[in-house]
Amino acid sequence: MKVALVNIPLRVPGSDEWITVPPQGYGGIQWVVANLMDGLLELGHEVFLLGAPGSPAGAPGLTVVPVGEPEEIQRWLRESDVDVVHDHSGGLIGPAGLRPGTAFISSHHFTTRAVNPAGCTYSSRAQRAHCGGGDDAPVIPIPVDPARYRSAADAVPKEDFLLFMGRISPHKGALEAAAFAAASGRRLVLAGPAWEPDYFAEITSRYGSTVEAIGEVGAERRLDLLASAHAVLAMSQAVEGPWGGIWCEPGATVVSEAAVSGTPVVGTRNGCLAEIVPSVGEVVAYGTDFTPEEARRVLDGLPSPDEVRREAVRLWGHVEIAGRYVEQYRRLLSGVTWK
Ligand code: UDP
């Protein structure tokens, strides 16, 4: 099939450059699109990537279409002969004006109601319920391509530190990660953009002696951190999120990335985390109230690197997940839909 994958078109903050697929730094949706694209290509489909001008080209079957503005993307889609438009833009583009017979599917990555609910898929059952998706809307977790991460053969040595890799925001639980790390007696490496200076200051004032904030990371350093950490902390909290309402972690890209890198995950039960963390780690309570005994017990009981790698590929491998999407493409092409 010819599949147009529409990334969420965003520019690197403070620059004219587009965020690419995969992204230069922080960027969960762009990693989802990159890993899914690998799976579709491996299954022999032709992929047209839009919404990420400047992305690396060269993979057989991949065309990076140099359009970024939503109107330009929509125009290209109207004029193209693709079989499927798979949208990851959060509704910046839509099905209007597509050639008849083209399937339109969107993967929802936010916590709001989907802009185009017909043909919308969700990353977790929790996200679907939170966003008001129908019971028949497919739930397809975030894919991960092991080739994009460190493998067992890379033999990256494990270190003692715990890793938080994400937006340093209250709903993502960076403060609670710092509390957990402090209780366990381990250092927390805090990687990611800190767009809320007061919150960041609170973390460093309360846990400064055990937190090492390294800013946003990308490329090789990011891969080494994901593979060398003792555990990744995904401690999302049920507090007000960025689009209003209580935060419901939709898909948590970092969980499958950690696991495929051989690193188990400690997470809360927020949103998707209750569905995915138990396979590759352990669920802990909300808040900052961890005792040293509890934190150490959790860390001592985590699954091994081999186990979590195996689970990541079994549950979220890029070819398996791409296959699940292809099934939905075929349903839509045969006239079935859902809301
Ligand atoms: N990330 C990164 N560098 C950083 C912090 C985060 O590359 O310094 C990436 C991380 O690997 C993940 C994404 O940004 O792929 C965050 O996505 P996630 O779904 O975990 O959280 P979101 O911010 O989308 O809620």
Neighbours of 325 (CB within 10 A): 23
> Per-residue pLDDT averaged across 306-322, rounded?
98
pLDDT at 297: 98
Atom of ligand 1 nearest to the CA of 253: 19
- Classified by CATH at the fold level, domain 146-315 comes out as Rossmann fold (3.40.50)
* CB-based contacts of 65, cutoff 8 Å, min separation 6: 4, 48, 49, 50, 76
> Per-residue pLDDT averaged across 110-129, rounded?
97
Interatomic CA distance for residues 86 and 6, integer angstroms: 6
User: What ranges make up the beta strands (E) of 34-121?
Assistant: 46-50, 62-64, 84-87, 103-107, 120-121
pLDDT in tens, 255-293: 999 999 999 999 999 999 999 999 999 999 999 999 999
Give me the half-sphere count of Cα atoms (radius 13 Å) on the Cβ side of residue 72.
10
pLDDT at 306: 98
Q: Are the C-beta atoms of 234 and 252 separated by less than 8 Å?
A: yes
DSSP state of 152: G
- Cβ of 173 below 6 Å from ligand 1: no
Q: Are the C-beta atoms of 115 and 339 separated by less than 8 Å?
A: no
- Cβ of 248 below 6 Å from ligand 1: no
Residue minimizing CA distance to atom 22 of ligand 1: 28
Interatomic CA distance for residues 300 and 192, integer angstroms: 26
Residues of the chain with CATH 3.40.50.2000: 2-143+317-334, 146-315
Q: Are the C-beta atoms of 175 and 200 separated by less than 8 Å?
A: no
Check pLDDT > 90 for residue 243: no
Q: Burial of 179 by CB count in 10 Å (0-12 exposed, 13-18 middle, 19+ buried)?
A: buried
pLDDT at 244: 83
Rounded to the nearest angstrom, the distance between the alpha carbon of 164 and the centre of ligand 1 is 10
Q: 2-143+317-334, superfamily in CATH?
A: Glycogen Phosphorylase B; (3.40.50.2000)
Give 59's pLDDT tier (boundaries 50, 70, 90).
Answer: very high
Check pLDDT > 90 for residue 87: yes
pLDDT in tens, 72-84: 999 999 999 999 9
